[in-house]
Amino acid sequence: MRMRPTVSWTPAADLPPGTTDLEPVAEALGTGNVLVLSGAGLSTESGIPDYRGEGGSLSWHTPMTYQDFTADAHARRRYWARSHLGWRTFGRARPNAGHRAVAAFERQGLLAGVITQNVDGLHQAAGSEGVVELHGSLARVVCLSCGSLTPRRDLARRLEEANAGFEPVAAGINPDGDADLTDEQVGDFRVVPCTVCGGILKPDVVFFGEAVPPQRVEHCRRLVREAASVLVLGSSLTVMSGLRFVRQAAQTGKPVLIVNRDPTRGDQHALTRVALPLGTALTTVAGRLNIPVDGQAAA
């Protein structure tokens, strides 16, 4: 029997409480060589909901798994209908104050790199350059047969042409750009094949139940080894793809700091967890370090 991937986690009762004290975060960034690990919570202020926070999409949505996508043509049609609709909103999202602050820290030479679990490209849109997209990017599409990579905008155009008049109203959208539609709304949505070989197209992202490419994992492990500390931003660390880097840092004695309003699976390994909104927290830290954000002096 195929097992579903782990998508939820119940906090232990003895986890340390969150704080509002940003001084440890400011001290770490002031020292430099900080590795940022970001999650969906960093993008909520850009209008993209997270999975597990208050109102998170897991309360109404079951994520598509790699196994279902590859094995079931009906599942692929449902996914692409929902993803095509979601892309219209997702593609319009813009970086928020948290993304801009991370980019400002990088410009000041304070970061060892950025590992993001997000697939929205908002770090790069804010100006960050040293970004490892742990789970890939929705801006690219890959063929599962020939491996060809194409821009998502090209696929969006092809899907528009194949599905003229497709304008359902979605109940919501999740962090991977998958809108919530009923089977009736999906209807007979037409999926288009690879233009190179006719194979199955998939967004160039790591689905639930799919492994992160080993070379990408090793690159991230190297970043952890070379960093002085790890700063987690907006991730519950529920899935092992991100938690393993926190555990690696803690096992080697590197400080781990977390900014996340809710408890995380990595709290036991952290020096502190700051329970504040990310945009406010990061711009406050930038102000304490006198680092300009968006070209203006941080207040």
30 is in an annotated binding site: no
58 is in an annotated binding site: yes
209 is in an annotated binding site: no
User: Could you confirm whether 135 is annotated as catalytic?
Assistant: yes
Length of the chain in terms of residues written: 299
Give the chain's mean pLDDT: 89
Could you tell me the pLDDT band of residue 173, with boundaries at 50, 70 and 90?
confident
What is the arithmetic mean of pLDDT over 34-46?
A: 95
Chain center to CA of 190: 28
Dist CA 124 CA 284 (whole Å): 21
% pLDDT > 70, the chain: 89
- What would the 3-class secondary structure string for 41-60 be? HHHHHHCCCCCCCCCCHHHC
Where does the chain hold its CATH 3.40.50.1220 domain(s)?
A: 19-48+94-135+211-299
The fold adopted by the segment(s) 19-48+94-135+211-299 is Rossmann fold (3.40.50)
Which among 61, 84, 123, 135 is annotated as catalytic?
Answer: 135
147 residue type, one letter: G
Per-residue pLDDT tens over the stretch 106-141: 999 999 999 999 999 999 999 999 999 999 999 999
pLDDT of 59 over the 70 cut: no
Phi, psi of 117 (to 5 degrees): -85, -5
What is the arithmetic mean of pLDDT over 268-294?
A: 96
- Are the C-beta atoms of 205 and 135 separated by less than 8 Å? yes
Residue 12 or 200, more confident: 200
Q: Which of 45-49, 116-120, 204-208, 229-233 has the lowest mean pLDDT?
A: 45-49
Give the DSSP letter of residue 267: G
Predicted TM-score of the model (pTM): 0.88
Strand 111-116's sheet: what is its strand order? Answer: 131-133, 111-116, 34-38, 229-233, 256-259, 272-274
83 is in an annotated binding site: no
The tally of CA atoms less than 13 A away on the side-chain side of residue 266 is 35
Could you tell me the pLDDT band of residue 257, with boundaries at 50, 70 and 90?
very high
Dist CA 258 CA 247 (whole Å): 13
Could you tell me the pLDDT band of residue 209, with boundaries at 50, 70 and 90?
confident
Could you tell me the pLDDT band of residue 183, with boundaries at 50, 70 and 90?
confident
Dist CA 279 CA 96 (whole Å): 7
